[in-house]
Structure 1
Amino acid sequence: MAHASIQSDEAPDDTKSYRFTPTQDWFSFNVDAWKILFPRVQSPHPRVLEIGSWEGRSAVFLATELCGEGGEVVCIDHFDLMQSAAGRERYSKITHNLSLTGKRFRILDEFSFPALMVLLKEEMDYPNPGYDWIYVDGSHEADDTFLDGELVWRLARKGAIVIFDDYHWDKEPADSIHHPKRGIDAFMTLHRGEFDVLSSPEQYQVVLQKTTEMRIGFLAKEVGHGLDRALGYGIHVALTVDASYAMAAGVVIRGCIKHTSARITFYIVDLGLSLGDRQRLESCTKSANDATAVFVTLPQGGLTAKGGKTWAKLDMIPVLPVERVLYLDADVLVRADLRSLWDIDLVGRPLGTVRDVGFPMGHEGMHRGPYFNAGVLLMDLARIRTEWDALTATAETLLGAEYADQDALNTHFRDTWLPLPMKWNAQGLGTYAELQSADRALIEAGLSEMKNAAIVHFTGPVNPAMEHIMNPYLQPYTAKPWGYVGAPGHPYTSEWWKALDETPWAGWRLTDEHKEYCASERGKAMQSACQRFTDKVRSVTDVA
């Protein structure tokens, strides 16, 4: 049975001496190297965990030196399960030695696996869980060492120092299953990207500093909170992206990661990305341990092939390897934690989405009634797939519709979609959302929600036609920040550019490439406008 914590508030008893076996000092040569690491421990009252404590020589050092101003030391050692005289003697010595320090300590006389399971269960309800310094010096078997490392990693706080002993042990061949090196190497391979290595290859010990947040990864029955995270349930975000929207998609991904406190898998539907685009988008997820990118290729012959890339959000429905997804247009700016959106109960509806600000009751040619914008869709894919044939049949009849996929989705799901708070798809900010209309008055309460937008949607073209820019009745016009004229009326334009500078496209606004792009698109807009003007004049004069 594991022994309880022993608390001592008394000063160390200098009249007694430590009981260490002089010929069993396998620790003291580490003292100087360890002291150099102490400034890296940020907690004023460090929590120390040690596997393989023997008589407590390293534990006493940590209790008196690292925990001098407070903290605690937890020692795990099986002490031969108290079934041998030598094991009982070591237990007596470590208890005596730690008691002399006057510091808080605890000894668990168990093998490391059951003892660590006890600690993991306890930490689930601890107000400030985790350890700041962990020393692994137990079994020399490679698999045992790997298992010790895996379990203590779940107890290690972000920034914790984790030390593996005996990396260059000379009692067995280094490549043997009976040598800890193989277990340590396997652990480091599995957790690559989650730590900084502080030791050199020649050192006898491997010293790591954890760079990711603590994650226990499971729950005991008696603990009722944090179930989704323990089960590994994360958020699935889907984007449909071609080369012209790759940079904007990077902003979407970065915003999701920056503001969301949950694991995210991004399903990026590749509509013609270059290898460089894919690498940059994937690198957007590398800054966070809880984010990954999966690139998806659509089957040939679908709606996208017939009607264009805007239909990809429908074609992705049968091929995404999940049953629930949050679809985001690549022209949005995420400003809030997506967990609260993801957790919305769709109450059996196939999708949740936000009313369209431009056409709250639909547009000419559509059935009059609540009409949603398809830029943000919380989708129950399992439910939608049960009516896939009917959905595609509807879409086939609307391939030439004014708003394409959006019209098809509104037609098919006319009476079954769940309205979401409008802050999750804030459209037309600084532009048409400010204009009054009879239909817009019906969503006045929702429009006020958009003042604190959780997801900003930059609706409108990337590069607007010259007529729109010149038309005094369309001011300010809608456009996207990265187009040739920017989005001058939009309150979140500057924030979008700041977000871009947190992606691999940082600084693009100041590059010659951006200047050349804007000049080229301005030229195209002028040329197209002149051609339309010429065609109009010709049509009038020909009639005359």
Structure 2
Amino acid sequence: MVVKSQKTDLHIAACCDQNYLPYTAVMMVSAARRLDQAYRPVFHFVAVDIADHWLTRLSEEVTRHGGDLKVYQPDTTAFKGLPTLRYGDAVYHRILLAEYLPEDIHRVIYIDADTYVVDDIAKLWQTDLSGHPVGAVEDLSRSACKTIDIPRPKYFNSGVLVMDLDAWRQQGIARKVVRYAADNAHRLNYVDQCSLNAVLHKDWARLPPRWNQQATVYKALNRHSAGSGYEKAELREAIRNPAIYHFTGREKPWLWYCFAPVKHEYRALLDSLEWTEELRPKENLGDKLEAVLSLRKQAQYLGRLMVWLFHRKRGSH
């Protein structure tokens, strides 16, 4: 009798409300499809105001792709009274992952809902954090860091995080971040991300930008003198060979008004998850016309596509 070797659990976390559930499903499926077969993806999902029958559909989808789904109910008191802006309450709950997850789980990769995984995240899982409690990619926007007066290279984007949960628990990081958010929310542009940076900006491991290829990567390369902490070669590699696309800003790939080179591939996967269709907003004619008639954005899309193709071609030689 042939005994199958047991797979190693690889832990991935996500948080969202019902509005973002279809896109969280895309993230999970894209990550599971590309994961090294020696690993089993275990998704730890903080579900904010999501009906049980939708959680069942998500669990079935994860199971079809060889994974397991663990659902957690959010702590509704921790962030009471804090502003959510357009992002909803779900953005805060990544801060409490060390408290939500069982203590026998020592590391987790947190990934935002508006992402698309195109490489094996087992490589990210194995990253040496060199004693830091979190690994992240610099936020490539020039403005995000300004409200807490942190130099741009020291300010990370919280859309993809490799978290040492033992360190978070031992140092009480979550509660420090919650306290900072409560005291300073009135002056922060991105309350959750700025609060994480205020506490951790001197204690995080820098990851290659390909692990969180933000929409602003093209500007960061073209205006490199403006102060990114990455070398131009690292930014080119993020464009040529991204591992995780992160659709920061307004341009989400499930909308017509999106000009990311990978949007058609993303939408094909989203459309294949037929059970999510009922949850997705229907775009009207005005949305489509805005996208078609936005000549500046269409030109930008073609420019990005050419840059992407150029760097991919150079990288293949």
**For the superposition of Structure 1 and Structure 2, which TM-score range results when normalised by the shorter chain?**
0.7 to 0.9
Report the Cα distance in structure 1 between the residues aligned to 2:266 and 2:14, rounded to whole angstroms.
Answer: 18
1:102-134 superposed Cα distances (whole Å, 9 cap, x missing partner)? xxxxxxxxxxxxxxxxxxxxxxxxxxxxxxxxx
1:230-288 superposed Cα distances (whole Å, 9 cap, x missing partner)? xxx31110000111100001100111110002111101100111233212211221213
**Structure 1 gaps, min length 5:** 1-151, 155-214, 218-228, 462-478, 526-544
Output the TM-score relative to the length of structure 1: 0.47
1:173-211 superposed Cα distances (whole Å, 9 cap, x missing partner)? xxxxxxxxxxxxxxxxxxxxxxxxxxxxxxxxxxxxxxx
Residue aligning to 2:57: 280
Is residue 293 from structure 1 mapped to residue 69 from structure 2 by the alignment? yes
Is residue 519 from structure 1 mapped to residue 294 from structure 2 by the alignment? no
Residue aligning to 1:187: none
1:321-370 superposed Cα distances (whole Å, 9 cap, x missing partner)? 22211000000000011101001111211000001111389324422252
Report the Cα distance in structure 1 between the residues aligned to 2:197 and 2:108, rounded to whole angstroms.
Answer: 18
Structure 1 segment 202-281 matched on structure 2, within 5 A: 215-217=4-6, 229=7, 233-261=8-36, 262-281=39-58
Check 1:415–1:282 CA distance in 2 against 1; reply closer, same or farther (3 A cut): same
Is residue 459 from structure 1 mapped to residue 224 from structure 2 by the alignment? no
Structure 1 segment 102-251 matched on structure 2, within 5 A: 152=1, 154=3, 215-217=4-6, 229=7, 233-251=8-26
Which structure has more helix as a fraction of its residues?
A: 2
Residue aligning to 1:318: 99
Report the Cα distance in structure 1 between the residues aligned to 2:79 and 2:286, rounded to whole angstroms.
Answer: 29
Match of 2:138 among 343, 352, 355: 355
Report the Cα distance in structure 2 between the residues aligned to 1:236 and 1:301, rounded to whole angstroms.
Answer: 26
**Structure 2 gaps, min length 5:** 291-317
Check 1:361–1:246 CA distance in 2 against 1; reply closer, same or farther (3 A cut): closer
Report the Cα distance in structure 2 between the residues aligned to 1:307 and 1:383, rounded to whole angstroms.
Answer: 28
Match of 1:407 among 166, 171, 194: 194
Is residue 379 from structure 1 mapped to residue 150 from structure 2 by the alignment? no
- Aligned to 2:29, the other structure's residue is in SS state helix
Question: Contact 1:353–1:372 (CA<8 Å) still a contact in 2?
Answer: yes
Check 1:446–1:305 CA distance in 2 against 1; reply closer, same or farther (3 A cut): farther
Check 1:520–1:312 CA distance in 2 against 1; reply closer, same or farther (3 A cut): farther
RMSD between aligned residues:
2.7
Residue aligning to 2:306: none
Residue aligning to 2:236: 448
Is residue 419 from structure 1 mapped to residue 191 from structure 2 by the alignment? no
Report the Cα distance in structure 1 between the residues aligned to 2:286 and 2:106, rounded to whole angstroms.
Answer: 40
Is residue 302 from structure 1 mapped to residue 302 from structure 2 by the alignment? no
Match of 1:480 among 235, 248, 252: 252
User: Counterpart amino acid of 1:318?
Assistant: E
> Bigger relative contact order, structure 1 or 2, given CA contacts below 8 A and separation 6+?
2
The sequence identity of aligned pairs, in percent, is: 26
The size of the alignment, in residue pairs, is 274
- Aligned to 1:347, the other structure's residue is in SS state coil
Report the Cα distance in structure 1 between the residues aligned to 2:286 and 2:44, rounded to whole angstroms.
Answer: 30
Output the TM-score relative to the length of structure 2: 0.78
User: Counterpart amino acid of 2:236?
Assistant: S
